Amino acid sequence: MRMDHQLAERWIAPHSHVLDLGCGNGELLAHLQQNRGVTGYGLEIDEDKINEAIANGLSIVEQDLNDGLARFADNSFDTVVMARALQAVKSPDILLLDMLRVAREAVITFPNFAHWQNRIHLGLKGIMPVSEALPYEWYNTPNIHLCTFKDFEKLCAQHDIHIINRFAVSDSEKGHSPLMTALIRQAPNLLADVAIYRVTKQKPK
Protein backbone atom coordinates (compact mmCIF):
# COMPACT_ATOMS: atom_id res chain seq x y z
CA MET A 1 0.00 0.00 0.00
CA ARG A 2 1.12 3.54 -0.68
CA MET A 3 2.98 5.27 2.11
CA ASP A 4 0.43 8.05 2.52
CA HIS A 5 -2.38 5.48 2.58
CA GLN A 6 -0.64 3.58 5.36
CA LEU A 7 -0.39 6.77 7.33
CA ALA A 8 -3.94 7.83 6.61
CA GLU A 9 -5.14 4.53 7.95
CA ARG A 10 -3.62 5.21 11.37
CA TRP A 11 -5.77 8.29 11.82
CA ILE A 12 -9.05 6.71 10.85
CA ALA A 13 -10.98 5.23 13.74
CA PRO A 14 -12.28 1.66 13.46
CA HIS A 15 -15.93 1.39 12.43
CA SER A 16 -16.07 5.03 11.46
CA HIS A 17 -17.90 6.45 8.43
CA VAL A 18 -15.52 7.76 5.80
CA LEU A 19 -15.68 9.72 2.56
CA ASP A 20 -12.69 9.24 0.25
CA LEU A 21 -12.32 12.07 -2.28
CA GLY A 22 -10.57 11.02 -5.46
CA CYS A 23 -10.51 7.44 -4.24
CA GLY A 24 -9.01 5.96 -7.43
CA ASN A 25 -9.62 2.23 -7.58
CA GLY A 26 -10.64 2.28 -3.93
CA GLU A 27 -7.45 0.73 -2.55
CA LEU A 28 -7.54 2.67 0.71
CA LEU A 29 -11.29 2.25 1.15
CA ALA A 30 -11.06 -1.50 0.60
CA HIS A 31 -8.27 -1.76 3.13
CA LEU A 32 -10.17 0.29 5.70
CA GLN A 33 -13.32 -1.69 5.10
CA GLN A 34 -11.64 -5.07 5.46
CA ASN A 35 -9.28 -4.33 8.31
CA ARG A 36 -10.94 -1.60 10.31
CA GLY A 37 -14.64 -2.21 9.74
CA VAL A 38 -14.98 1.23 8.22
CA THR A 39 -17.98 2.11 6.03
CA GLY A 40 -18.29 4.87 3.50
CA TYR A 41 -18.05 6.06 -0.05
CA GLY A 42 -15.44 6.98 -2.57
CA LEU A 43 -15.83 9.77 -5.12
CA GLU A 44 -13.93 9.41 -8.38
CA ILE A 45 -14.15 10.55 -12.00
CA ASP A 46 -11.82 8.09 -13.73
CA GLU A 47 -14.11 5.61 -15.52
CA ASP A 48 -11.79 2.62 -15.41
CA LYS A 49 -10.92 3.12 -11.77
CA ILE A 50 -14.61 3.40 -10.88
CA ASN A 51 -15.38 0.12 -12.61
CA GLU A 52 -12.42 -1.53 -10.90
CA ALA A 53 -13.65 -0.34 -7.52
CA ILE A 54 -17.22 -1.48 -8.24
CA ALA A 55 -15.90 -4.93 -9.19
CA ASN A 56 -14.18 -5.02 -5.80
CA GLY A 57 -17.51 -4.53 -4.06
CA LEU A 58 -16.89 -0.94 -2.98
CA SER A 59 -19.38 1.93 -2.93
CA ILE A 60 -18.07 4.38 -5.48
CA VAL A 61 -19.95 7.39 -6.79
CA GLU A 62 -18.95 9.19 -9.95
CA GLN A 63 -18.45 12.83 -9.09
CA ASP A 64 -16.11 15.64 -10.02
CA LEU A 65 -14.62 17.13 -6.86
CA ASN A 66 -14.84 20.54 -8.49
CA ASP A 67 -18.62 20.27 -8.10
CA GLY A 68 -18.14 20.49 -4.34
CA LEU A 69 -19.74 18.50 -1.56
CA ALA A 70 -23.13 20.22 -1.42
CA ARG A 71 -24.86 16.87 -1.83
CA PHE A 72 -23.66 15.83 1.63
CA ALA A 73 -25.23 17.06 4.84
CA ASP A 74 -23.21 18.63 7.65
CA ASN A 75 -21.33 16.07 9.74
CA SER A 76 -22.33 13.16 7.52
CA PHE A 77 -18.99 11.48 8.07
CA ASP A 78 -16.41 10.97 10.78
CA THR A 79 -13.48 11.54 8.46
CA VAL A 80 -13.00 12.79 4.92
CA VAL A 81 -9.85 11.58 3.20
CA MET A 82 -8.28 13.23 0.20
CA ALA A 83 -5.06 11.71 -1.03
CA ARG A 84 -3.13 13.81 -3.56
CA ALA A 85 -6.11 15.59 -5.06
CA LEU A 86 -5.96 18.95 -3.25
CA GLN A 87 -3.51 20.35 -5.79
CA ALA A 88 -5.70 19.29 -8.71
CA VAL A 89 -9.00 20.95 -7.77
CA LYS A 90 -10.18 24.38 -8.87
CA SER A 91 -10.74 25.81 -5.39
CA PRO A 92 -8.71 23.95 -2.78
CA ASP A 93 -9.61 26.43 -0.05
CA ILE A 94 -13.37 26.12 -0.56
CA LEU A 95 -13.14 22.35 -0.81
CA LEU A 96 -11.09 22.14 2.36
CA LEU A 97 -13.74 24.07 4.29
CA ASP A 98 -16.48 21.95 2.75
CA MET A 99 -14.65 18.79 3.83
CA LEU A 100 -14.66 20.04 7.40
CA ARG A 101 -18.37 20.80 7.10
CA VAL A 102 -19.33 17.24 6.10
CA ALA A 103 -16.92 15.56 8.53
CA ARG A 104 -15.37 16.20 11.89
CA GLU A 105 -11.87 15.52 10.61
CA ALA A 106 -10.07 15.56 7.32
CA VAL A 107 -6.97 13.60 6.38
CA ILE A 108 -5.21 15.21 3.45
CA THR A 109 -2.09 14.35 1.55
CA PHE A 110 -0.44 16.41 -1.14
CA PRO A 111 2.94 16.69 -2.84
CA ASN A 112 5.29 19.31 -1.43
CA PHE A 113 6.29 21.77 -4.12
CA ALA A 114 9.14 23.06 -1.95
CA HIS A 115 10.92 19.70 -1.92
CA TRP A 116 14.65 20.22 -2.58
CA GLN A 117 14.52 18.43 -5.92
CA ASN A 118 11.77 20.77 -7.10
CA ARG A 119 13.81 23.73 -5.88
CA ILE A 120 16.77 22.53 -7.93
CA HIS A 121 14.62 22.11 -11.02
CA LEU A 122 13.18 25.57 -10.74
CA GLY A 123 15.98 27.48 -8.97
CA LEU A 124 19.04 26.14 -10.73
CA LYS A 125 17.85 24.55 -13.94
CA GLY A 126 15.04 27.03 -14.46
CA ILE A 127 12.55 24.39 -15.53
CA MET A 128 9.31 23.13 -14.00
CA PRO A 129 9.96 20.15 -11.74
CA VAL A 130 9.14 16.61 -12.81
CA SER A 131 9.54 13.96 -10.13
CA GLU A 132 8.08 10.76 -8.73
CA ALA A 133 5.48 12.71 -6.78
CA LEU A 134 4.87 15.16 -9.65
CA PRO A 135 5.31 13.07 -12.77
CA TYR A 136 3.81 15.51 -15.30
CA GLU A 137 5.09 18.11 -17.71
CA TRP A 138 3.85 21.68 -17.14
CA TYR A 139 1.50 21.50 -20.13
CA ASN A 140 -0.28 18.29 -19.23
CA THR A 141 -0.29 18.37 -15.47
CA PRO A 142 -3.60 18.11 -13.62
CA ASN A 143 -1.87 19.75 -10.66
CA ILE A 144 -3.03 23.32 -11.07
CA HIS A 145 -2.73 24.43 -7.44
CA LEU A 146 0.60 23.22 -6.21
CA CYS A 147 1.61 24.33 -2.75
CA THR A 148 4.19 23.76 -0.08
CA PHE A 149 3.72 22.64 3.51
CA LYS A 150 4.13 26.22 4.63
CA ASP A 151 1.51 27.43 2.18
CA PHE A 152 -0.97 24.82 3.37
CA GLU A 153 -0.41 25.64 7.02
CA LYS A 154 -0.89 29.32 6.27
CA LEU A 155 -4.24 28.53 4.64
CA CYS A 156 -5.26 26.49 7.68
CA ALA A 157 -4.36 29.35 10.00
CA GLN A 158 -6.42 31.80 7.94
CA HIS A 159 -9.53 29.64 8.30
CA ASP A 160 -9.11 28.53 11.92
CA ILE A 161 -8.37 25.00 10.82
CA HIS A 162 -6.47 23.15 13.50
CA ILE A 163 -3.74 20.74 12.57
CA ILE A 164 -4.06 17.69 14.82
CA ASN A 165 -1.21 15.71 13.29
CA ARG A 166 1.28 16.24 10.56
CA PHE A 167 3.60 13.74 9.00
CA ALA A 168 6.07 14.43 6.25
CA VAL A 169 7.60 11.63 4.26
CA SER A 170 9.89 11.12 1.40
CA ASP A 171 7.84 9.12 -1.01
CA SER A 172 10.07 6.10 -1.12
CA GLU A 173 8.61 2.63 -0.89
CA LYS A 174 11.79 1.45 0.81
CA GLY A 175 11.40 3.55 3.90
CA HIS A 176 14.07 5.74 5.43
CA SER A 177 17.19 5.35 7.43
CA PRO A 178 16.91 6.73 10.98
CA LEU A 179 19.19 9.59 9.96
CA MET A 180 16.99 10.56 7.01
CA THR A 181 13.88 10.35 9.19
CA ALA A 182 15.49 12.68 11.70
CA LEU A 183 16.55 15.10 8.98
CA ILE A 184 13.07 15.15 7.46
CA ARG A 185 11.69 15.97 10.88
CA GLN A 186 14.06 18.91 11.11
CA ALA A 187 13.38 20.36 7.67
CA PRO A 188 10.22 18.85 6.22
CA ASN A 189 9.53 21.67 3.79
CA LEU A 190 12.89 21.02 2.18
CA LEU A 191 13.34 17.28 2.46
CA ALA A 192 9.91 15.65 2.36
CA ASP A 193 8.07 15.30 -0.90
CA VAL A 194 4.69 14.22 0.44
CA ALA A 195 2.90 15.48 3.52
CA ILE A 196 -0.06 14.06 5.31
CA TYR A 197 -2.17 16.27 7.54
CA ARG A 198 -4.98 15.51 9.92
CA VAL A 199 -7.06 18.62 10.48
CA THR A 200 -10.28 19.71 12.16
CA LYS A 201 -12.43 22.81 12.49
CA GLN A 202 -13.12 22.15 16.15
CA LYS A 203 -10.81 23.53 18.76
CA PRO A 204 -8.65 20.76 20.20
CA LYS A 205 -9.63 20.03 23.78
Partner 1 sequence: MNARPDNTSDQSATDKGNAKGNAKGNAKSSINTEELLNSVGVVTPQTLHFAEPLTLECNRTLPSFDLIIETYGTLNSDKSNAVLICHALSGSHHAAGFHSDEDQKAGWWDNMIGPNKSIDTNRFFVVCVNNIGSCFGSTGPTTINPDSSQAQVYGPDFPLVTIKDWVKTQAMLSDRLGIDVWHAVVGGSMGGMQALQWSVDYPNRLKRCVVIASTPKLSAQNIAFNEVARQSILSDPDFKDGRYLLAGTYPRRGLILARMVGHITYLTDDAMKAKFGRDLKSGKFMYGYDVEFQVESYLRYQGERFSENFDANTYLLMTKALDYFDPTRDYPLETAIDSSPESLASSLAESVKADSSEDELENTLADSADIDNISASNHQELTALKAAFAHTECQYLIVSFTTDWRFAPERSQEIVDALMATGKPVSYINVDAPHGHDSFLFDIPRYMGAVKGFLNAPFMTDNRDQNSQKTLGARS
**Count of residues in contact with partner 1, rule CB under 8 A:** 28
Q: Which of 41, 110, 167, 197 binds partner 1 (CB under 8 A)?
A: 41
CB of 107 to partner 1, least distance (A): 18
End-to-end CA distance of the chain: 33
Among residues 52, 40, 91, 38, the alpha carbon closest in space to that of 68 is found at 91
CB of 179 to partner 1, least distance (A): 42
Among residues 16, 70, 5, 74, the alpha carbon closest in space to that of 41 is found at 16
- Convert 93-120 to b/e letters by CB count within 10 Å (16 or more is b): eebbbbbbbbbebbbbbbbbbbbeebee
Rg of the chain over all Cα atoms, to the nearest angstrom: 17
The crossing angle, in degrees rounded to 10, of helices 149-158 and 92-102 is 60
Quick one: DSSP state of residue 198?
Answer: E
Q: Which of 59, 117, 131, 200 binds partner 1 (CB under 8 A)?
A: 59
Which span sits near partner 1 by CB under 8 A: 69-77, 103-111, 114-122, 139-147?
69-77
- Residue 61 touches partner 1, criterion: CB under 8 A: yes
Q: Which of 12, 21, 50, 168 binds partner 1 (CB under 8 A)?
A: 50
CB of 9 to partner 1, least distance (A): 16
Determine the longest span between alpha carbons in the chain, in angstroms: 49
Over the window 2 to 31, marking each residue x when it contacts partner 1 by CB under 8 A and - when it does not, the resulting string is -------------xxx--------------
Which span sits near partner 1 by CB under 8 A: 38-46, 86-94, 112-120, 136-144?
38-46
Residues that bind partner 1 (CB under 8 A): 15-17, 33, 37-39, 41, 47, 50-62, 71-76
